[in-house]
Structure 1
Amino acid sequence: MQPTPLALQIQTLPDNPGIYQYFDKDGKILYVGKAKNIKKRVSSYFNKTHDIGRTNVLVRKIVTIKHIVVPTENDALLLENNLIKKLQPRYNVLLKDDKSYPWICIKNEPFSRVFHTRKMIKDGSEYFGPYTSFKTVWTVMDMIKHLYPLRTCNYDLTEKNIAAGKFKLCLEYHIGNCKGPCEGHETLENYQQHVEQIRQILKGNFKESLRVFKKQMTAAAAEMRFEDAQRIKEKIEVLENYQSRSTVANPNLNNVEVYSIVSDESAAFVNFLQIMHGSIIRTHTLELKKKLDETDKELLELAIVEIRERFNLISKEIIVPMDVEVGENVKVIVPKLGDKKDVLDLSTRNAKFFRMEQLKQIQIVDPDRHTNRIMAQMQKDLRLPKEPRHIECFDNSNIQGTNPVSACVVFKDGKPSKKDYRHFNIKTVDGPNDFASMEEAVFRRYKRLLEEAQPLPQLIVIDGGKGQLSSALKSLEMLDLRGKISIIGIAKRLEELFYPDDPVPLYLDKKSETLKVIQQLRNEAHRFGITHHRDKRSKSALQTSVETIPGIGEKTMLTLIKHFKSVKRMMQASEEEISKVVGLSKAKKIIDFYKTINK
């Protein structure tokens, strides 16, 4: 039975932190929740009967589930808070807008104060956060207070006021918590250097502060001021042990739209985030079915226009992964690093998760469509003239040249066709010669297919680099098949793909489905070849051992090989066990022989 649409949505949710949203049959939002693992949390709603009747009513109304993936659980908490305030879902505890998360402010003024606050005032001051609890804020503020002596008064410390002597030193100066800038005991330049170090710490950059403190500690130790050096060392330890806070976005990002795109052969997925004062207040992912060979730029431009019209968006700044044309009054930003690059990466991550979710659903509901998509993608990625519906992969196995074998595994429509697997015991090669072994195996495989008028593959994959690929090509030439079947080699070290007559290898994205199929082929060929090689070595060792036993002939030898499989098993068997296979007389000869050689 096919899963229900709701069960399908749950089955394909990601195992990542983020928020989930429940919608009813009319598309009205019912609930917003946060989770460390979205899939597990959502599944828990449907796996049991809840004690609270209201929760059971909620579950019965759910028709659609949407989600947003974020880097950490703290980010999920902040995002949940923003969305509940914005959307006010019926089944959530409503949050008042005045109950906001705390921030740390660096005030825009001479001798800047650093303090915590819940209110953001647009006066040029810098705000860091939001933090998920005041406990975190107090920890950070205590650390800053321990590291740097800053003023706590609210005096207007302009140069003119200080020169006029309007202020007097307070208790904070006398107990060592402030250096007295109000009476000119500390210069503005020195004070603001401390503020800049605090700014870097709040951004999560400890490098400069640690460098300054270590330099001061070394200087103090060199001058034998060991107590000062110890105090500085303690500051270094505090700084090194502190873990920076997590945030969804920089509060300076206001009224900004973020767009990202991921695509494959059949469709593109465009994710949109709307950010106000550093908070994500809206998200949406749009799927665009490809009709022609549209570029990502064309599709992204189309999606941006559609989403802006749908949500009546009027932002004058958009963040995108590539330069696009969406109107004269819109500033297009393609960030390379910093906070804007971070939110673009977050959007891209959500687009990728949405695409993966859709692909999983297609694979479950419409496996033929899933196969067709992968085949089309492989044809494009590998530059093939035809879709590789039938692929064969060869691998060699030998240990120091003994018992050389080759394995050929067959994939049809991207899946193993085990009834078509073949082993080749190498007959014409002496010693460890992978090239010659590959040449023999490929020749024998396709000579037989031609003789039996069997269908040939669209693609041959050779496990190895240029040498093995050249050997396989020789066999195809002898059979007049070169150019009629596409052939590539894959080298293990860097997963390089080699083509005939092309010195430059192809490197596929490590996460691409095409590379995953080729790796699965290679690994399956290796497994199949190693298994056969191990069996052959074992039988060879058993045969050699049995042939040396006096009074044991070829027929008895074959019976023992078939039954015990290995020398070790036969040597460990009792006389009674062996006698059941070859009789009491021969069993006694075998037992006596191994007793003699083990003395």
Structure 2
Amino acid sequence: MTDAPSDADKPAHSQALLAQVTALPPLPGVYRYFDAQGQVLYVGKARNLKKRVSSYFQKNHDGTRIGHMVSRIVRMETTVVRSEAEALLLENNLIKTLNPKFNILFRDDKSYPYLKITGTRETYRTAGALPVPSLAFPRMAYYRGVVDRRHSYYGPYPSAWAVKESITLLQKVFRLRTCEDTVFTNRTRPCLLYQIKRCSGPCVDLVDSEDYGRDVAAAERFLRGETQQVLDELEMRMMAHADRLEFEQAAEIRNQMSALSRVLHQQAMESASDRDVDILAVRVLGGKACVNLAMVRGGRHLGDRPYFPAHVDDATQIDEGLGTEGGASPVAGADPLERVHVRVLEAFIAQHYLGTALPHTLVTSHAVSKALMEALTEQNGARVHAVHQPREHRRAWLDMAQKNAEIALARLLAEEGSQQARTRALAEALGLPDDNLDELRIECFDISHTAGESTQASCVVFEAHKMQNSQYRRYNIDGITPGDDYAAMRQVLLRRYGRIAEALRAEQGEALAEAPERSDDAPDPAVVAAAESAEPPKGPRMPDLVLVDGGKGQVSMAREVFQQLGLDLALIVGVEKGEGRKVGLEELVFADGRPKVYLGHDSAALMLVAQIRDEAHRFAITGMRAQRAKVRTGGSKLEDIPGVGPKKRARLLQRFGGVRGVAAASVEDLATVDGISAELADAIYRALR
């Protein structure tokens, strides 16, 4: 018989936190856990807050992901709601905004493109009476952004390619214009699109507004899926022209019908019964997951897009450790991998469709919970249902989505495997520890300026087998001789590692002070070793490798800085250009006296070094250019000056011809502009200097 875990086996939590857990009500709600630094660890929902939250602190979770998370909890917040559906919506809203470390998290990317037909809501019905020709002839366009009620929008499409493919299709069949209004109003002869029969030439009056309006209406019906009605109307128009012996016009419509028939034949995934449907397939493999979203709009399959969530292992193991609440998963008794698939799919549906319109039908590769569909129905204001085992054309859609999810996940794993192979190759080439390559951290520095102007240093970070953009840093370099790259490198290394070195020394001093003395008045060597290996508790840690873009000169400067700070010289590696500065001939230069190393032009280790070095160079160049542009336009932008709003800014720019003119103006000149007081003129004058 196994004994219950003793209090000593459980993580230590404050009495205030445990009292808060005890006082929770048995009501539905959402809970959030925080660590000592105030970072959100986990967001969860519960039908019974007291029962669910208590299970974290009453059980022994040692040696598991959930145990690791629970040991870091120092604070908790809860919100009581009216229903489980409301809790689910709030949970996923918080997950998207707080980015907790242990939840399945999908990047919020709903910026889908649309196909726009301009002005059709109000203008094309009365186009013949409109004074502006461009409004009488609506145009098709690719669009991404906020919608305007004056125009019609069709989609969303999963990719820009899908929109442009649809525009090409409509050009072939309905010959609508795609040119900008400024081009349209200034044409004197038809463009190439008219010559290749992709446009009817409204810019030079080769089609009247009434006929063009009919083509626009037919195109819109086609986009809504009313293809048979479009064909019937074209046939009627063709027969009417033939009855009037207008055989050229009848032939044009016949060609239009033929083009549309070919399009419908090629659109193998078309359905007359399903207008708007989303198809979702999930695939989990190797600790990674992919959800493939395919879209059907107006009965036409528009393509798909893969999504890759973060924290899959952590979140699913925490869920497994706690067990499932009633109704949380329709496959609670299934095998663990099946439950992971369902959790990933439910997380995607909840986060992706939160706060946005969605189709009434979702075709899914796995069954999802009724509570989730009820929450989406409540949000949407109309019933949303999920089809788990579809038939006929829906089955074909789902099979295709599943295949694409497998392909996308295999590609991701191959890319990550290649990057991991590069990391291992570099570790082997430089003799770095390879027992935990997932935590290998490389920082790379580069200096950029233009003839000494706007000098900036960049620091980029490579960790967990990929570039960590959120940890990049730029440093403005001041107080050096313009163009002195060595002084710039010295300054950035001192600023980057000075605080870390100071924290390391303080940590070592505390460890030595607390160590018991030996009989020979010397501290215990084990304690000394532990102190020397100590790291600062907060802030950035020392990397395993410091790359500098340069040869002996830059490496020598880095060595001086590290000697001054008391840091390990073996961390420094310089990337020296090879003969003729050719790519692939770079050599590695070491600060600790080791001989140069040439890795070989096809070396995986050199590929990784070049990738990190090039990213540091790119990051430094973009920062330098932005800084230089700011300096050359007066240092401070007008919009940053308190009291200068859009209207006053427009008046200033109009009066003085631009920011440079405003910067060159005197206080008296600035005060002559309408709305600019003497005090504000003085503030503008000082801010731009």
TM-score (norm 1): 0.32
**Which of the two has higher C-alpha Rg?**
1
TM-score (norm 2): 0.28
